[in-house]
A and B are shown apart, each in its own frame.
Chain A
């Protein structure tokens, strides 16, 4: 793709038409759907999912709408990238203090911030946003459960009085339920947002929304952060129907970004081979566990649970899943989250040790159990099944989608639920 573009450019230069293309650095690829953009505009295109446009009310949205909200809306504070200091960065709040008992948080707000609808950003907007989120009480609105009252002593100061100590600086950086909304639109129903209504103060505003197809953002000229001229003029979230289309669009330069949710591992490996595309692997918040129901024999015996922890082929699973980019868990908290254990787990792939522990538990002849897992996890389940067979343990594979497994094992606590279940 990059080679094709440069030869086209070279052709124009040689033809003495350089002036015509001079301002057109990122030429919009031919055959693109119209976005109302002039050809000289800088446009970025990200693959959207159906959920990205499912509910565009920031007070209730709970899934991939955050991809849009992160550009259209702002939060009072922001999480820094994992491991970086400080832990929490300023956003619409410039600084803050907490009382010694952790019960009173005072946030000082950024001056001169305007919402896209022209309203001024003040303490009242913060109070109205939190009130609205608590009133609707969906998604992660529980993040405000410790908030007893909110005071607005002056237009640029907000005070949160809590009923119990809570880390409000991190709370207000949340990816859901913390997007500050214009007081003029904060009480609108979701229908208004789902027609393209925009209550944000972020660098981009919603220019065009075609439900089921795309959303186009444009620069908000009055953004408090200002514009250097180098930024993208428009951001397009393109709803890509299926994985084949996503792959084709990436290859054609019609998309700049798509996640592993839109592509298979095989497609991603192949796309990584394109000169104009890169595979990006970053440490995530996700972790992958296998749970063993401890109420049920033989998993009521810690020796059996330890035996299974020693029977798992960690390296093979690390290599053969997630494009080999996962890292070995050190415990329940992943490396990206505060409280991660720097010490590795003692359990390694060691079938001798596993067999010895089983013998100690009186199960030298093995036993049989079932594991519920999602379709994507099948390679892991099969790798483990083969190892368990070597120590006389029969693993029955019960592949099912997560919601079914959740209903069976958690909601109904059914005796027919598999003894083991994954989450990932």
Chain B
């Protein structure tokens, strides 16, 4: 195996799951809603097979000066604050 099974410490390997993910990735371009349904279907395979014990969706935690307004955290950009929109 030249390619590491990145992050997959379970060494989970299910051809039906792999095929569904590949299909959903392509579909995401033209029909995002249908693709999302397919990703959910794939996750239910992981659930039934207990591919992992899924514990928690983790919060982004920070301490902020309470006199600042205009910052809405966006997990897509982690702790990047777009200061242009923030006021004191």
Contact = CB atoms under 8 A, between A and B. Distances in A.
Interface of A: 2, 25-26, 42, 44, 46, 64, 66-67, 69-71, 79-82, 87, 98, 100-102, 164-167, 173, 175, 202-204, 217, 223, 225, 230-232, 235, 250, 253, 255-260, 263, 268, 271-272, 275-295, 302, 305-306, 308-309, 312, 314, 317-318, 321-323, 325-336, 338-341, 345-347, 380, 409-411, 421, 423-424
B52 A291 contact: yes
A335 B57 contact: yes
A231 B24 CA distance: 42
A258 B65 CA distance: 9
Nearest to A203: B84
Contact of B30 (A71, A165, A259, A290): A165
A32 to B, nearest CB: 14
A235 B88 CA distance: 13
Given A98-B29, A288-B58, A283 B75 contact: yes
A79 B74 contact: yes
A331 B60 contact: no
Contacts of A317: 55-56
Contacts of A2: 66-67
Contact of A338 (B26, B36, B67): B36
B74 to A, nearest CB: 5
Contacts of A326: 56-59
A326 B57 CA distance: 6
B29 A166 contact: yes
30 contacts: A25-B88, A69-B80, A71-B81, A79-B74, A79-B77, A82-B74, A175-B78, A256-B65, A257-B64, A276-B67, A278-B63, A278-B66, A280-B62, A282-B60, A285-B75, A285-B76, A289-B53, A289-B54, A291-B10, A293-B11, A326-B56, A326-B57, A335-B57, A338-B39, A339-B39, A341-B43, A346-B47, A410-B5, A411-B4, A423-B9
Nearest to B58: A286
Interface of B: 4-12, 24, 26, 28-30, 32, 35-36, 39-40, 43-44, 46-47, 49-68, 72-84, 86-88
B81 A70 contact: yes
Contact of A235 (B39, B43, B83): B83
Nearest to B52: A289
A260 B62 contact: yes
A238 to B, nearest CB: 13
Given A46-B81, A175-B77, A284 B29 contact: no
Contacts of B77: 66, 70, 79, 175
Contacts of A332: 43, 46, 51-52, 54
Nearest to B43: A331
A295 B84 CA distance: 51
A260 B61 contact: yes
Contacts of A293: 9-11
Given A276-B67, A294-B12, A323-B59, 20 more contacts: A25-B88, A80-B74, A164-B26, A175-B76, A256-B68, A257-B62, A257-B65, A259-B79, A278-B64, A279-B62, A280-B64, A280-B73, A287-B54, A295-B11, A322-B58, A331-B54, A335-B57, A339-B40, A339-B43, A410-B4
